[in-house]
Chain A
């Protein structure tokens, strides 16, 4: 038996540009999922400052909110959450076997709505924050 050649990871990266809607949707969903579960752990950690008393809680939260970076990250988090929700609805439809032919269009629509909501939320999220 002759040995055979395994092309390994290189071909996987080579294929990225050939990905289609369904694949991109999966990658985005997975990425946003990782962000959200990561955030959940951080979120509970930050809120745990309540255990040190009301003042510590208020100070921690308002201290963080005063930072421009935090506000920026919050807009990002909103975009991530909105996309995960919208694409999640899309995936639930796929699971129910509804509109499988429109799965690519619904992905593009999810992206569009996510973008629109993220942009529209910038004024609200950036109120009263210096650089």
Chain B
């Protein structure tokens, strides 16, 4: 795992001005990296900034601070046309397949679109490539001449995946790709993504609010709260021994479909701070059961954890001393 990262994000920040000199601080000081073939999961609740990070990384949004290095190239302030050329190597799959495809284009035309934009191919060759892509995402050839309104959610999401892999990208950002799909359809898409990752070696950024999905597909998990990283660790570590109080609460709130599995639930009380005027200290302090005065004074930096990974909590050592002996 010492390969050169395909993407490294350093202290990324994104603010949305809302007038009167104020702005929404959607993303603050977020750093992570993705190596080829690795899947990094971004998890968080609404307002955590996870989708904003995904879009900023692809330069669909302008970053306000920090650095984005993709494939050895600093793309933080690349021009619009420079970004367009980049899109062949970095792709995205969106949450809602019903609305993320042009309703007037057939499946075939939708899959051919990235080839038309990025590959110099003849019409016949493009057609053949599109059919090969459809096969790779297990989409029946008979579906290729249908419009999006004539296809099911699972079929549409397969088209989206086919579009994303058409140009052999090195990075694929997946923004809640399975959240709007039915359970068994979701399983099929996850299988497909795992298959594609094995075949292409692309790095993946998997954005979701669902921890259960991440457990299946990601190698590393980045836990976000109000635009800041709370904890970052290998997937197995996060689920076995969540270190940060917020991660613990998030995992305990997850309802497992196994009725025998009943973790002790951590209840979160208190108000969520406004992202317009973030408190100076830890953003989670207002809802944290372990918060002390020092937490509200300064924003904690990420510090390494004994079992691998990092957490942004000044009390992390004392909080996990007991847990360490328990595990």
Do A and B bind?
A: no
